[in-house]
Amino acid sequence: MWNCGSANPPEYKARNRPPICISPVSTMKTFARPFSASLVLLLLLLWIVAPGAAASQDLEALLSRMTLEEKVGQMTQLTLQAVSETKGEPGVAHIIDHDALREAIAERHVGSLLNVYDMARTESEWRMLMTHIDEVTRTESRLGIPILYGIDAVHGNNYLMEATIFPQNIGLAATWNTDLVAKASRITAQETRAVGINWNFSPVLDVARTPLWSRFFETFGEDPYATAVLGTAAVMAMQEPGPTGYPAVAATGKHFLGYSMPLSGKDRTPAWIPERMLRDIFLPPFEAAMNAGLMTIMINSAEINGIPVHADKFVLTDLLREELGFEGIAVTDWEDIGKLVELHRVAESYKEAVFQSVDAGIDMAMVPYDYTFTDTLIELVAEGRISESRIDESVMRILSVKKKLGLFDRSASHPTARVDIGSDASHSTSLQAARESMTLLKNNGVLPLDSESTILAAGPALDNIPMMFGSWSYTWQGTDPAAYPAGIQTLGEELADRLAERVIMAPWGGYHEADRFRAAAYASDVAVLALGEVPSVEKPGDIESLRLPDEQVAIVRQAAESGARVVVVLFQNRPRIIREIEPYADAIVLAYLPGPYGAQAVVDVLDGTVNPGGHLPFTYPRFSGSLVPYDHKPSEASDILYGTNAFQPQYPFGHGLSYTEFHYSDLTVDAAQFDSHGTIEVGVTVENVGNLAGRDVVHVFVQDHVASVTPAVRRLRAFSVVDLESGDSARLTWTLGEADFSFTGRDLKPVLEPGTFSIHVDSLSYMFELHQ
């Protein structure tokens, strides 16, 4: 087996493929609360979160020297567009407007810049930009307070041309490999800081409860526990000390709070979420990340229960600061203070909107084009509506993050070449992530492909690079093929390279190509159909239905009618309804948005080079009108037509097939020590009874049979990834604590009630009593 860190991993242009690269994952790893990490990493995080008294005194001294204008400037964030001459044209170097930059930093004391025009830039361009900004800050501002520079490095540093790009988070979640998520996040952070960018607007910690939502693919799925584990791993890895000795970047938990369940399914539209649900479903990932040292959060752009979150003091002060004790930066999203006037209509004027948002608890405004926020906040302080002590709170948080990042240390803050951007080892990690994410939803014996089969290859995603990457890929929407680096292999090219004369490429042009498509299908043994959706995110990604387009449904039926066996490969931002095509498909592979090595990873699964091991991090719906998650209430699975079997998703949460077979046995639950120690030991044996080596994901669910608040049918409370050779077995154990059996009670406080519980692992279950 090839070592993932060894020399000569694949490059985008490679044609000679390396052996399978699979990093070992502990088969005995416990993912019980509070999301444990190594002792060394915990010590490093303690160092990050708790700077010494001397550092605190230094910042207090600096704060005492600052004028009100300098303080409010620190709370202001401008887009790079506001200080640029060029407009993000392809092939045109980005040019800073020096006078505008000097005004922003030296005269207006701006504390943060973000983004780039909607076009990825090269390493050398980024270094020039960051050096220019650093030079102006150092030589022309009175106090020399460094700039926090933010970027949406969502799946790799996707605005850096040479960076390593990974599968989107929903695909990483399908690996269930916490170590791999951490590794990808670490590489992203290091490659981001290497060009001088010190603040990453990632990871998304929203829990994806509605597949209609256009940012579904940015999440780690529908489960709060899994999102907490994987999201915290990402945060800790991003904020690990890099070559400079300081954290590589400040991570950002997005979007606090309740952003991912709009009632309409459309982005930035109202959500109605009871406080109990906020606490049980949406809060845990943020709380876990904060406990692990998360430095910043970005605020939900929308409203919850009729109150825009940017003006919600309960969420931003009572909950975030007083209850959770968060001391990091709370930054707005794009223009969201102004939207309190224009969109939400809870403020009559921009001045009132600034008052509401600062009073609610924001620290920094992503303005992002001018100084209206700065001037207005200064006016509010002068009028006595906002106290200067309130300003000091936010400024100290901003300065503290800059201090933790080493931005005041000249030897560490300047962009350096200490990281090998886009290294061979980093690319091998991207390939590994793509392979491990591949999720086999259905297989009627057609996969792996027979070595003698004639294969028809067709579909809109066959030769479409953006459909493999998704949004946030070299541009915001990720739809421009010209923006991508040269040499990325499409699925069609990969099939042609590896299966050569056995492959028939059918044209994709919709209905008018139907005759040519049918002829190719009749000449083939197997039809590999690459389906999905064009990248889109945020408001451009709003859709009316999850149904696949008619022409994609049609080619599946036509291929099946020809007598060819049909293999469907899905590249999609969210689970699109496949109920109509599922009966015609002999196999379905969900590739998510796998990135630059997506084509290789898919063909590796199709030809059997890789045994698929991905498992769904969400419930795959059967109907657009029935978007019910796995942890639903009992009443959601019962009605007069279907009895107690009304919950009928296309594929259940955690589903994923393999080319081998796993057998579960000997589920044990030791609840005897719960009264004295507050813990329960759970164990199960997993055996590979098939003929091939394979990987499985083992999920541990808890069911509370009776509670004072209607309980979910089950809740995920632990998981492990296990690699087993044919005939091998492993004994897995987990320790569950009181929090794993608790819920938010009627008084909106955590409660553990005695009674009957069950542990579920695969088809095994164990019922027991808990006593207080």
Q: Would you name the residues annotated as active-site residues?
A: 333
* Sheet hosting strand 329-331, strand order edge to edge: 252-256, 296-299, 329-331
The Cα-based distances of 254 to 154, 258, 693 in angstroms read: 11, 10, 38
By the 10 Å C-beta count (0-12 exposed, 13-18 middle, 19+ buried), 692 is classed as: middle
Report how far residue 74's alpha carbon sits from residue 79's, in angstroms, rounded to the nearest whole number. Answer: 14
8-state DSSP, 502: G
Alpha-carbon dihedral 241, 247, 253, 254, rounded to 10 degrees: -120
> For residue 256, which of 352, 326, 158 has the smallest C-alpha distance?
326
Alpha-carbon gap, residue 490 to 463, rounded angstroms: 5
Determine contact, residues 710/635, Cβ cutoff 8 Å: yes
**Inter-CA distances, 767 with 668, 671, 685, 764, 772, Å:** 10, 10, 18, 10, 17
Amino acid at 512: H
> 62 by DSSP, 3-state: which?
helix
Contact 117, 97 (CB under 8 A): no
Task: Kindly report the backbone phi and psi dihedral angles of residue 488, in degrees, each rounded to the nearest multiple of 5, phi listed first.
Answer: -75, 130
Rounded CA gap, 202 and 385, in Å?
A: 34
Closest CA to 24 of 638, 751, 626, 722: 722
Which contiguous run of DSSP H or E holds residue 730? strand 729-737
Rounded Cα–Cα distance for residues 417 and 585 (Å)? 50
Pair 217, 273: CB distance under 8 Å: no
- Joined together, the tokens standing for residue 182 give 């951490």
List C-alpha distances in Å: 457 to 379, 491, 526. Answer: 64, 9, 9
- The DSSP-derived string for 614-669 is ---SS-B-SSTT----TT--GGGG-BTTTBT-----SB-TT--B-SS-EEEEEEEE
Cα–Cα distance, 591 to 568 (Å, whole number): 10
Q: Is the dihedral of CA 89, 95, 99, 100 positive or negative?
A: positive
